[in-house]
Amino acid sequence: MSDGPLIVQSDKSLLLEVDHELAAECRKAIAPFAELERSPEHIHTYRLTPLGLWNARAAGHDAEQVVDTLLTYSRYPVPHALLVDVAETMSRFGRLRLEKHPTHGLVLTSTDRPVLEEVLRAKKVAGMLGARLDPDTVVVHASERGNLKQALLKIGWPAEDYAGYVDGEAHAIALAQDGWTLRSYQAEAAESFWHGGSGVVVLPCGAGKTIVGAAAMAEAQATTLILVTNTVSARQWKDELIRRTSLTAEEIGEYSGTVKEIRPVTIATYQVVTTKRKGVYPHLELFDARDWGLIVYDEVHLLPAPIFRMTADLQARRRLGLTATLVREDGREGDVFSLIGPKRYDAPWKDIEAQGWIAPADCIEVRVSLPHVSRMVYATAEPEERYRLAACTPEKLGVVRELVAKHAGQPTLVIGQYLEQLDELATALDAPVITGQTPVKERQRLFEGFRSGEIGLLVVSKVANFSIDLPSAEVAIQVSGSFGSRQEEAQRLGRLLRPGEPGPDGERKVAHFYTIVSRDTVDAEFAQNRQRFLAEQGYAYRIIDAEDLGSTPSADQV
């Protein structure tokens, strides 16, 4: 028995003592295979799940490494049954393999014949398989490659895909060599993806996921389809590719609500691709418009269901998913694993911060109390109305004003979900507001004004959550959000983490991330779930009362 920071329990939960001197080292060691569940002050709870263990296996970690990590850091003897279960769960990955057969095309093979027999009798795979070629090999209908991987994952026998990829239409793409180089983790991420063939790269916002995409394109040397969240993001991708690669503006097409260009590199928005007319998705034909050699899914944690369905038919194309967090609020992480590919690279936010590539963050929850009258209205409201009432309480306006004044001169974003609340804030603060109703040209103008310093305060809705590059932002004040969404917390914090240039004294900026929460309401409950993301990445957050706000020093003052 050692004095380790970890308690491993037979229910597959891992309890990590946060204040232990080896806690950070242990968190890093278990991150590839364990999922964070709860993160109060002193003990964080992780969980071993089949998907987490299979992701680790696909990334090159074997059961021996996982077992050794648990034994090394555990304070008490690790339950033997759990160690056996870890080994057996991880051994399930790869006993079935998808391969190319010289005469029969796509086949499913097995190193364990009883497993193949079990799968052949599963209703979920009925109709996807053809003739049996020998005791260990069965033909797979080529169009079912993705659907079969989904089905096999759901019945507990994830297949390793060795069937390879088509090269696609060749197109010369090189990284520009004018005074910059790939950061070490960007190069590692691109290499890990390319070696694995398809999969997901997880990097913090501000760490240069677009650059990883560009590096993958330079490896592929082929026509590329890039799927992004919105038109502003599409244009930022285009600008970055022109700046960082040999591609010219004429080689890059935009496929959005206003423009329909198909070029060797085409950037399309999820919204237009999933537009439905008369029961069909006409723009899904974009996937067949060219012989794509690479498909890049930006913000893959937001992938809409129609794109999943189309991706099931694209398993012969290399696929790269980019995201700051693999958390999906709809629980479809398994579909990302089976259809885009397993996690190929994941860099902890704190590691990237330690290297100076993203800014340190001071995370604070400011709690306000509802007035008695508002509490009565809240208490008697329908359950579906309660979050809006708590999130939009006028008590938050005074706190926002105080925080904006406290950080006067620092580029600040006020972020929320409810349009009426945002309009009220914009009027009170005399600041421009950006919502989904703001025309794209106006959004671009305001974002550019913020980047240049002409605009120091912006009120924004969730349209600013994703793929918007605002390197100058130093302060974010969150007044409402998408209920308990951890993925949104990741994106909003990420708006602040571009490190910026050092000041005159050599000091780099500290990002300030405030969340204003109504106590004793569902607003506070949702905030707890959102903050799990912060704890997962190693960020501490402080809780202060709104009345004490003026006397509370910020992280760069203590």
- pLDDT for residue 363: 83
Give 321-349 pLDDT, tens digit per residue: 998 877 676 778 888 899 999 989 887 77
Asked whether the predicted pLDDT for residue 193 surpasses 80, the reply is yes
CATH topology of domain 353-551: Rossmann fold (3.40.50)
Asked whether the predicted pLDDT for residue 268 surpasses 70, the reply is yes
Asked whether the predicted pLDDT for residue 399 surpasses 90, the reply is yes
- pLDDT for residue 543: 86
- pLDDT for residue 346: 83
- pLDDT for residue 500: 57
Among residues 214, 322, 228, which one has the least CA distance to residue 268? 228
Q: What is the rounded CA–CA span in Å between residue 307 and residue 287? A: 10
Q: Which of 25-39, 133-147, 167-181 is least confident? A: 25-39
Most confident of 130-134, 380-384, 502-506: 130-134
Percent of the chain's residues with pLDDT above 70 = 89
Identify whether the C-beta of residue 203 lies closer than 8 Å to the C-beta of residue 352.
yes
- pLDDT for residue 486: 56
Asked whether the predicted pLDDT for residue 357 surpasses 50, the reply is yes
Q: What is the rounded CA–CA span in Å between residue 417 and residue 422? A: 8
Residue 541, H or E segment: strand 541-545
Q: Looking at residue 188, what DSSP letter applies?
A: H
Q: Which of 17-21, 163-167, 222-226, 331-335 is least confident? A: 331-335
Alpha helices in 93-183 (DSSP H): 113-120, 145-154
Strands (E), 481-540: 511-518
Q: State residue 226 phi and psi, 5-degree precision.
A: -115, 125
Average pLDDT over the chain reads: 87
Superfamily holding 184-347: P-loop containing nucleotide triphosphate hydrolases (3.40.50.300)
Asked whether the predicted pLDDT for residue 454 surpasses 50, the reply is yes
